Structure 1
Amino acid sequence: MPAHVAAPYFETWTGESPAALAAESGNKYLTMAFLETDAAGSCTAYWNGDTTQPISKAAFGSDIAAIQARGGNVIPSFGGWTADTTGTELADSCTSVDAIASVYESLVTTYGITRIDLDVEGDSINNAAGIDRRNKAIAKVERWAERTGRSVQFSYTLPTSNTGLEANGVALLQNAVDNGARVDVVNIMTFDYWDGATHDMAADTQTAAAGLHDQLAALYPKKSSAKLWSMIGVTEMPGIDDYGPEETFTTQDAVTVENWAVAKGIDTLSFWALQRDNGGCPGTGGSDSCSGIAQDTWYFSHTFEPFMRGVSVS
């Protein structure tokens, strides 16, 4: 993966082609959401928990290959709100660390990807057994990658307050440290604060990331400040988020955040989700298919893309 990557989430359940939308929007990288089991207790992961979409080249293989042929890649993501609240997040569902690790490894060998994202929220972020299994599996996969000459990174996507992770998010990362699991990126979801306040979303992205930086400094005391910033990612929700108009990420907020991300040298800029990057439903909050604000189609994609090249926008 590049040192700075813009990789919006792609909703894999829509039936759309990730390669086609990546090309239309100008994105070289996508985070593909989500992988989960079809039922609690299973150790088999499917795209969207749909048993007709296993981890197989028959499911998204040609799309992923097309994205890679254009010099990009995808980041498969496990979890998400639905899986994390129904027991179908892989490490919550499966009690075998070896089986969890095998699923992660199968993504690398099947699709040629080099980063796996773990979206842990809802019930999953308080599931101590699942957290421990997941981190043990990460460590196991990292040892496998080292033995076999592969490159595999892991990112954790976690909910945040506007001052940093809650205690359960810090505990999850502490467990990773305790298990010898290398976490390459901590990607905070800087939206859906749900605290009743009206938010300046760009400013709160910056304070949330600053808080995370300090939390990472306590977890990784040997890392420099620059290295800690290079472990950070932020995921925005363009337009009106699930809470409502009090939490609206504007087009100008996107410019502010992109410039800040370049200056700080963070790792990842993302947003939820690519299919929302259009102005088709002004005034509608929390839609899966439009931002709820007036905007040009692909505005947020085009604004975040220069981050890949370390270029600020105006």
Structure 2
Amino acid sequence: MTTVLASAGLVLGAGGAAHAATPLPAHVFAPYFEAYNGDSPADLAQKSGAKYLTMAFVQTEAKGSCTPYWNGDKGQPVSASVFGADFATIRSRGGDVIPSFGGYAADNGGTEIADSCTSVDAIAAAYEKVITTYEVSRLDMDIEDNSLTNKAGIDRRNQAIKKVQDWAAANGRPLQVSYTLPTTTSGLASSGLAVLKSAKAAGAQVDVVNLMTFDYYDGATHHMATDTQTAATGLHDQLAALYPAKTPAQLWGMIGVTEMPGIDDYGPAETFTTADATAVYDWASGKGINTLSFWALQRDNGGCPGTGGSDSCSGIVQDPWYFSHTFAPFTGGGGPVADDFSLAVAPGSASVAPGGSTSAAVNTAVVSGAAHAVALTASGAPAGVTASVDPATVTAGGSARLTVTASASAAPGTYPITVTGTAGGLTHTAVLTLTVSGPGGGSGALVNGGFESGALAPWTCESGGSVVGTPAHGGSYALKTAPTSSQTGECAQTLTLAPNTKYTLAGWVQGSYAYLGVRGGASASAWTSSAGWSRLAVPFTTGASGTVTVYLHGWYGQGAVYGDDLSVG
């Protein structure tokens, strides 16, 4: 598409009118996604259940520039090659994305585009480029810190928004603009209100005012759900004064709130709890606000209890994706939070010798709503093997133990043991992959060490682990681990060997920082970095139980590691 900027506004070439953008729902849950850490938006959207994402952030590389980049990184231009495939996948699942301009770092450092660029036409062209490259129907302006007091930048931004809105209307493109602004517990501060007044003076339509209901930094201890409600009520009154022709329902329909799950940047006095999430969801649904969000999707886990302001975890004890699951039903109109639970077996695979037994944890968690009693059963055990869960009933959030016992006559092989959890009309299942080894353990106890089954079982891997055809050391297949910035990509298998016996784990590996080892009843490992296949051997001695876990993994951010022809003997 060719675009020419003229003093009268935006003039498009022949390609300007065609588009595939779809308006967002009137009520949408769209958490912020940290676009700067290498994660896949489509992957985390699927894992979390968040169909819509607010992408943070678009900004310039340096002060004075008018060229937009993701996170100000010249290696991440506004291009279909950057996030385009992810966005297409998200849309194929019925969702969409909201690109967000600005953010604290840009607003503080002068690389928010309207602060950086002094040409209104160039700013408008940057907005248009994002819209047409990604076919989006909403842009978000995250304005904080120094950008709140840069009057020239505020006015340029709103003048550019007006130009783009006129262009979109002339070409039949749906387009909304949201302003994300810091707040007090009683509504916008004067600096935030000035941004909206400038927009009105410029003739720019503000569709959503999204309050950042966290980081108050006022020295008080906060009840975060209550403060969200009072802040939004204050904003409602401010909008009523600014737009007197709008009805109360229309004004509530202009409001969004963005929470920060767990401990925010200020500290424990500003902690948004799981109970706060349910309270805010119910309130937001009842009021009919437009947008429910939080900072940020990558924080929606309990990986760092007690830590405030992390980009990768909430700092509180919570189930993974708790806040996403609680807020997700808001999209499309909300409604009461449905009660639901999750079920998992850990580890996901185990080995047992005939005449022996093994066990695994059965963990439940509250996904949304209230906790209910979950009845647990186990099925799928082959002849000569028994499987039972104790206790047979837990309250969601509790754990039980799956015990599997193999008789002396149990046939060697790999079998799926299915644990079923039932609570009212809800049923979830999880599978333990059980391997019954040959008599006496030994080298026959490691199953599928050559991966010639073409499948992982009974190996279990962190996200991305798979069986591949190339490269393979022997036969047709090999194991591929998938390290990322947040995982080593470990693949593992638990074995029951002869107690107090010497063994050697051996196999062929390829890749940077390839680790082969055992843990549990023994602890030993070896590693190498090799562009081709290299053999590792790891001697170890089992303990009294004979149970060990063998593993292969790479290292954080170092690329794939491959393994093949693994054995224990």
Query: So what's the TM-score if we normalise by structure 1?
Result: 0.99
Q: Deviations over 1:213-238 (max 9, x none)?
A: 00000100000000000000000000
2:44 is equivalent to residue 21 of structure 1: yes
For 1:36, the aligned partner's letter is Q
- For residue 231 of structure 2, the aligned residue among 208, 217, 220 is 208
Question: Partner of 1:118: helix, strand, or coil?
Answer: strand
Match of 2:240 in 1: 217
Match of 1:311 in 2: 335
Match of 2:379 in 1: none
How is 1:41-120 mapped onto 2 (pairs within 5 angstroms)? 41-120=64-143
How is 1:278-293 mapped onto 2 (pairs within 5 angstroms)? 278-293=301-316
Larger radius of gyration: 2
2:170 is equivalent to residue 173 of structure 1: no
Paired with 1:246 and 1:279, the residues of 2 have a C-alpha distance of 18
Match of 2:340 in 1: none
For 2:219, the aligned partner's letter is G
For 1:172, the aligned partner's letter is V
How is 1:141-290 mapped onto 2 (pairs within 5 angstroms)? 141-290=164-313
For 1:300, the aligned partner's letter is F
Paired with 1:242 and 1:82, the residues of 2 have a C-alpha distance of 14
Match of 2:155 in 1: 132
Deviation at 1:108, TM superposition (A): 1.4
2:324 is equivalent to residue 301 of structure 1: yes
Question: Partner of 1:85: helix, strand, or coil?
Answer: helix
Paired with 1:4 and 1:56, the residues of 2 have a C-alpha distance of 29
Paired with 2:184 and 2:334, the residues of 1 have a C-alpha distance of 27
Paired with 1:312 and 1:102, the residues of 2 have a C-alpha distance of 42
Deviation at 1:70, TM superposition (A): 1.0
Question: Partner of 1:50: helix, strand, or coil?
Answer: coil
Greater relative contact order (CA < 8 Å, ≥ 6 in sequence): 1
Q: Deviations over 1:160-216 (max 9, x none)?
A: 000000001111100100000000000000000000000000000000000000000
Paired with 1:299 and 1:132, the residues of 2 have a C-alpha distance of 40
Paired with 2:86 and 2:210, the residues of 1 have a C-alpha distance of 25
Paired with 1:256 and 1:70, the residues of 2 have a C-alpha distance of 28
Unaligned 5+ segments in structure 2 are 1-23, 338-368, 370-569
Paired with 1:311 and 1:223, the residues of 2 have a C-alpha distance of 25
RMSD of aligned C-alpha atoms? 0.6
Paired with 1:226 and 1:240, the residues of 2 have a C-alpha distance of 32
Deviation at 1:30, TM superposition (A): 0.2
Deviation at 1:107, TM superposition (A): 1.3
Paired with 1:300 and 1:261, the residues of 2 have a C-alpha distance of 14
For 2:133, the aligned partner's letter is T
Paired with 2:105 and 2:330, the residues of 1 have a C-alpha distance of 30
Question: Partner of 2:310: helix, strand, or coil?
Answer: coil
Question: Partner of 2:109: helix, strand, or coil?
Answer: coil
Paired with 2:103 and 2:74, the residues of 1 have a C-alpha distance of 18
Unaligned 5+ segments in structure 1 are none
Question: Partner of 2:99: helix, strand, or coil?
Answer: strand
- Which region of structure 1 is more displaced relative to structure 2, 39-48 or 301-310? 301-310
- Which region of structure 1 is more displaced relative to structure 2, 57-66 or 304-313? 304-313
Paired with 2:279 and 2:134, the residues of 1 have a C-alpha distance of 35
For 1:217, the aligned partner's letter is A
For 2:256, the aligned partner's letter is G
Question: Partner of 1:283: helix, strand, or coil?
Answer: coil
For 1:190, the aligned partner's letter is T
- Which region of structure 1 is more displaced relative to structure 2, 100-109 or 201-210? 100-109
Going by fraction, where is strand more abundant, 1 or 2? 2
Deviation at 1:18, TM superposition (A): 0.3
Question: Partner of 1:287: helix, strand, or coil?
Answer: coil
Question: Partner of 2:165: helix, strand, or coil?
Answer: helix
Question: Partner of 2:239: helix, strand, or coil?
Answer: helix
Q: Please list every run of at least 4 consecutive aligned residues from structure 1 whose deviation after the TM superposition is greater than 6 angstroms.
A: none
Match of 2:10 in 1: none
Paired with 1:277 and 1:310, the residues of 2 have a C-alpha distance of 20
Paired with 1:20 and 1:113, the residues of 2 have a C-alpha distance of 19
- Which region of structure 1 is more displaced relative to structure 2, 291-300 or 63-72? 63-72
Paired with 1:225 and 1:262, the residues of 2 have a C-alpha distance of 15
Paired with 1:88 and 1:109, the residues of 2 have a C-alpha distance of 22
For 1:39, the aligned partner's letter is A
For 1:87, the aligned partner's letter is G
Paired with 2:131 and 2:184, the residues of 1 have a C-alpha distance of 33
Deviation at 1:312, TM superposition (A): 2.1
Going by fraction, where is helix more abundant, 1 or 2? 1
